[in-house]
Structure 1
Amino acid sequence: MSYMTAGKLQAFEALMKEIPGHNHYDSGCDGICPECRSCCFHRPYWKYQTCVFEECPYSPVKLSTLRCQPVMAREG
Structure 2
Amino acid sequence: MHIRQSAGRTGSCFDNAAAESFFTVLKAEIGTTVWEARAQTRQDVLRWIAEHYNRERLHSAIGYITPYQARIRCRQRLDLAA
TM-score by length of 2: 0.29
More helix by share: 2
| Greater RCO, CA 8 A, separation 6+ | 1
TM-score by length of 1: 0.31
Find the structure with the greater CA-based Rg. Answer: 2
